[in-house]
Structure 1
Amino acid sequence: MACGGARMIPAAGVGRVIAPWILACVLLLCSSILGAEGAIGVNYGMLGNNLPPPEKVISMYKANNISYVRLFHPDTSVLAALRGSGIGVVLGTLNEDLARLASNESFAASWVASYVKPFAGAVQFRYINAGNEVIPGETAAHVLPAMQNLKSALQSAGVSGVPVTTAVATSVLGASYPPSQGAFSEAAAPVMAPIVAYLSSKGTPLLVNVYPYFAYSASGGNVALGYALLSADSGAAASVTDGGVVYTNMFDAIVDATHAAVEKAGAQGLELVVSETGWPSGGGTGASVENAAAYNNNVVRHIGAGTPRRPGKAVETYLFAMFNENQKAEGVEQNFGLFRPDMTEVYHVDFAASAGAH
């Protein structure tokens, strides 16, 4: 989901998961150090003109046992509502601010002074997220210097222990099948290699947005629904064998393809955080309340088990999104919410299940 809620769909219509992944799946089917175990969060998108006030929203997070929140851009009213909540916060920058953050140290300092320093201590910042889904692209070159300037600004402001990272879509991958062959694309690699090296040197995870839904909906029925939904009964025909490892769901396969890409770029052991994942409850192929409920509940129960490449290593994960947002594009984009703007559930997600996920 692009910054602020405008989703970027590649021209080919493949969505979040790149074409080589889908083609490979079709061929097959036709022949955190920083994250607590089971840690689960929800993205708080605000592209709606009928959403409840921040105080009520944060109360909803607490009432539903949601440990973390991700904000796509700084909002002082939301940050104020988060004071003393105990909820971990991923705070994003606007993509349009990346160039100034990269080139102007004083702007980075003022950003920290406005949105982090006044709330530090009372708000539990997990990460500062410099840019969302801008790699590859015209803004990509600004990401690393923006991260570096923000980190320096935090240190100068006396704010310690807040890592700075960025969020990428799976479009950074040029190869993703089988997962062990995951690699960054030619367009993304020159930008991603120094970023993952920097993150590795700081012990900071990379954020990645993972959407099996878009691979499923674009596959013309060639990706098994159970494989996309993390359904335990998806069956052997829906599994992917990678050497001696069997993948029974696409979520793990995408995460591990990204792990492989990061390792090939020279950053061994770098952690990944799934900063977005979700399934729409309406508006498109395979989009239903039943499927959305199944996917998100399966994710919550599954993340504590890790992935085949990192077994037993819980994957800190953020569902997308808290609300259906009426100012987004019509169709699936308006139907990713767990809740309606009147605060009633679209379907129930048992967040407490993540604590014992294995």
Structure 2
Amino acid sequence: MFFIGAVVSNRIGINYGQLGNNLPSPARSIELLKNMNIGRVKLYDADHEILNLLSGTDIDVAITVANDEISGIAASQHLADQWVYEHVIAHYPSTRIRFVLVGNKVFSSISTPEDMQIARVLVRAMRRIKNTIKALGIRNIKIGTPLAMDIMETTTFPPSNGTFKQELQQLMVPLLKYINGTKSFFFINVYPYIEWFESQVWNQTAINLGSALFRSDDESYTDPQSGLEYTNLLDQMLDSVVYAMAKLGYNDVMLAISETGWPHEGESGANRYNAAEYIHNLVRKMTAVPSIGTPARPGVVIPTFIFSMYDENQKFGASTERQWGLFNPDGSPVYEVNITSIV
């Protein structure tokens, strides 16, 4: 039987993506992670070389089931067993796999029948993966799925107005029921930079840059319905998700941040100074002892993964999409920030 008692750690995590043709080797990358004393790493796949290199370290690992594998696993317990044996059991427990994330932003693209089918069977696939892991006596691996803030209705402020998009609620209820029942986390990608930037472009709201960067001495915001006071944009975004879950009957599902960061080059507000300030203040908040949580969830640990380890020059989209990394291709820091010993 595999069993290791698990406690929710407030050590910071990082996303290790590989969509670049100039990135350091996996061996060099894992050395960088160890030198940073990083607490967690999130992979967008379940790469055997990387998982082998992480063996024997104290780094908690999140691995990912690809979106195009979800339907097959949902339809077949045998395929789920096969995936777990190949990607989990081959490395566990010497590699500290703690999360299996099924898919990535599955609810963000449901415009085609194929995408909608994947979204509909997502929870079934999660359940099959969990069945295999549970049958092996493993109790400390949580199953989740990272979602993006586009699951929310356009107007999510004040936070107490937070509501999931109407067309997603039929998908969200079984997901929340499953996550709640297995005591797992609701993984959400949260980007105050994007919220702030879009508010400048569309002039929908007067979001303060200081709020997006955790400058607590800047103006605060009081939710007129809840009476809770907010000093930063991240808390507002997270609590909008908390209220949205509550409106579907789930008041205490745990949150985890699967991605958050700030671009160091690109469009308005994207520079190294702001990126360093955001990461510094994020880490100080998320690793505080005792835990700070959010106004709606005070004192609660929120596992957090920074996006990202590297700039990835083969990602699609605007140039800013490729400028979120903490490290250059030669392994040197893009900007100076200590993500493990901030006080």
Deviation at 1:336, TM superposition (A): 0.3
Unaligned runs of 5+ in 2: 1-5, 111-115
1:196 aligned residue (167, 176, 185) = 176
Say whether 1:58 aligns with 2:46.
no
Deviation at 1:275, TM superposition (A): 0.7
Q: Hey, what does 2:223 align to over in structure 1?
A: 241
Q: Hey, what does 2:310 align to over in structure 1?
A: 323
AA in 2 matched with 1:198: Y
Structure 1 range deviating more: 261-270 or 244-253: 261-270
Q: Tell me, in whole angstroms, the C-alpha distance in 2 between the residues paired with 1:333 and 1:115.
A: 29
Cα pair 2:70 2:102 within 8 Å, conserved:
yes
Q: Hey, what does 1:107 align to over in structure 2?
A: 79
Match of 1:295, SS state, is helix
AA in 1 matched with 2:67: N
Q: Hey, what does 2:298 align to over in structure 1?
A: 311
Structure 1 range deviating more: 189-198 or 257-266: 257-266
Q: Hey, what does 1:185 align to over in structure 2?
A: 165
Say whether 1:349 aligns with 2:337.
yes
Q: Tell me, in whole angstroms, the C-alpha distance in 2 between the residues paired with 1:350 and 1:150.
A: 36
Q: Tell me, in whole angstroms, the C-alpha distance in 1 between the residues paired with 2:170 and 2:55.
A: 39
Say whether 1:226 aligns with 2:206.
no
Cα pair 1:120 1:159 within 8 Å, conserved:
no
Q: Tell me, in whole angstroms, the C-alpha distance in 1 between the residues paired with 2:65 and 2:7.
A: 21
Q: Tell me, in whole angstroms, the C-alpha distance in 1 between the residues paired with 2:71 and 2:337.
A: 38
Q: Hey, what does 1:274 align to over in structure 2?
A: 257
Cα pair 2:276 2:336 within 8 Å, conserved:
yes
Match of 1:352, SS state, is coil
User: What is the root-mean-square deviation of aligned Cα atoms in Å?
Assistant: 1.6
Match of 2:340, SS state, is helix
AA in 1 matched with 2:132: A
2:129 aligned residue (145, 150, 156) = 150
Match of 1:69, SS state, is strand
Percent identity at matched positions?
34
Deviation at 1:158, TM superposition (A): 4.3
Cα pair 2:12 2:340 within 8 Å, conserved:
no
Match of 2:97, SS state, is strand
Q: Tell me, in whole angstroms, the C-alpha distance in 2 between the residues paired with 1:253 and 1:353.
A: 26
Q: Tell me, in whole angstroms, the C-alpha distance in 2 between the residues paired with 1:255 and 1:130.
A: 21
Unaligned runs of 5+ in 1: 1-32
Cα pair 2:261 2:279 within 8 Å, conserved:
yes
Q: Hey, what does 1:254 align to over in structure 2?
A: 237
Say whether 1:47 aligns with 2:16.
no
Q: Hey, what does 1:335 align to over in structure 2?
A: 323
Deviation at 1:157, TM superposition (A): 4.0
Q: Tell me, in whole angstroms, the C-alpha distance in 2 between the residues paired with 1:182 and 1:216.
A: 17
Q: Tell me, in whole angstroms, the C-alpha distance in 1 between the residues paired with 2:302 and 2:129.
A: 25
Q: Hey, what does 2:113 align to over in structure 1?
A: none
Query: How does the TM-score come out when normalised to structure 2?
Result: 0.89
Q: Tell me, in whole angstroms, the C-alpha distance in 2 between the residues paired with 1:63 and 1:347.
A: 16
Structure 1 range deviating more: 270-279 or 240-249: 240-249
Structure 1 range deviating more: 112-121 or 258-267: 258-267
Cα pair 1:117 1:159 within 8 Å, conserved:
no
Match of 1:189, SS state, is helix
Cα pair 1:205 1:271 within 8 Å, conserved:
yes
AA in 2 matched with 1:133: K
Q: Tell me, in whole angstroms, the C-alpha distance in 2 between the residues paired with 1:203 and 1:42.
A: 23
Q: How many residues align?
A: 320
Deviation at 1:170, TM superposition (A): 1.1
AA in 2 matched with 1:346: V
Match of 2:145, SS state, is strand
Match of 1:233, SS state, is coil
Deviation at 1:234, TM superposition (A): 2.2
AA in 2 matched with 1:121: P
Q: Hey, what does 2:58 align to over in structure 1?
A: 86
Cα pair 2:188 2:257 within 8 Å, conserved:
yes
Deviation at 1:309, TM superposition (A): 0.7
Distance 1:313 1:353, change over 3 A: farther
AA in 2 matched with 1:64: M
